[in-house]
Amino acid sequence: MGNLEGKIAVVTGGNSGIGYASAKKFKEQGANVIITGRSEEKVNTAANELGVQGVVADVKDLNALDSLVAQVKDNHGAVDILFVNAGIFAPAPVGQITEEMFDNQMGINFKGAVFTVEKFLPIIKDGGAIINLSSVNAYTGMPNTAIYAASKAAMNSYTRTAATELAPRKIRINSVNPGPVYTPIFGKTGMPEEQLNVFAEAMQNRIPLKRFGQPEDIANLVNFLASDEASFITGAEYNIDGGINVNPLLAG
């Protein structure tokens, strides 16, 4: 029997990367899992592979969130675990940030995350768990990530305040801050493959453990925070980054 036996878990952006790995882990631990995503094809493919329910929903669209919550409520009644994972990464240097870039990243990474929580709160059980996917970029000052980093810093600040306000319902809410992880998010940046490879090699050399994380590494932490084993943890942030945030100047 897994540590999430009988729990109802929702994973936004669950059709790839960290969301996919976390949905898989949740299911292995006995949860009944619902994944969401913007692409009907990708959501359906992932749901079939995982053997879970898939629902198409764009977290930037509040009407879509309303529809998602209504569907989950109709099918399951209530939710024990909400993993707010959907997000995008669109690098741009300061001085070349457009309003569209700002609105898109903030709209998905922060506004979408906040309203995912807001819309689901009425059907999250007292004693439930919310996990927000953030990033060590909230603190690193990494070039070309100003808006992405700001969206994640906002997420972490929101999480701390929400933890205080949700405590009377015994709902725990925590943030997970991954470092560099092998996921499809980098392939969606528009950077040429050669440039991505150079970036990845340079980044890996700066990680004390000398490797990128795998989605499964993050999924293991997310699963722990979702479980009763983490029943005394709320308002916390967990860096899972191979040590890059404690020693950002370390080079190969």
In DSSP notation, 92-138 reads B-TTS--HHHHHHHIIIIIIHHHHHHHHHGGGEEEEEEEEEE--THH
Answer yes or no: are the C-beta atoms of 122 and 87 closer than 8 Å.
no
Phi, psi of 170 (to 5 degrees): 60, 25
Indicate which residues carry an active-site annotation.
Answer: 148
Beta bridge partners of 178: 240
Instruction: Tell me the β-bridge partners of 177.
Output: 239
Handedness of CA 12, 14, 20, 24 (dihedral sign): positive
Run of H or E including 34: strand 32-37
Tell me which residue of 30, 28, 35 sits closest to 11, measured CA to CA. 35
C-alpha–C-alpha distance, residues 1 and 130, integer Å: 22
Question: Which two three-digit tokens encode residue 55?
Answer: 């629902």
